[in-house]
Amino acid sequence: MSVQQHDYEERHIEKRHDPSRVAATFIKYLAYVIITFGVLYFIARYLIPMF
């Protein structure tokens, strides 16, 4: 019976978490959502009744 010896390289991966970037991204996508709903509201309230 042979015993194999393995050398393992350990890697520690640190996930970078920058709260300011997360907040900026959240604000950006929130602005996209608000603008989208604003355009839809404008279409539903003012453009559709014209037809």
Residue 1 has pLDDT above 60, yes or no: no
Residue 3 has pLDDT above 80, yes or no: no
pLDDT digits (tens, 9 = 90+) for 19-30: 899 999 999 999
| pTM of the predicted structure, to 2 decimals | 0.59
Q: Rounded CA gap, 45 and 7, in Å?
A: 68
pLDDT digits (tens, 9 = 90+) for 31-40: 999 999 999 9
SS (H, E, C) 1-51: CCCCCCCCCCCCCCCCCCHHHHHHHHHHHHHHHHHHHHHHHHHHHHHHHHC
Quick one: pLDDT at residue 25?
Answer: 96
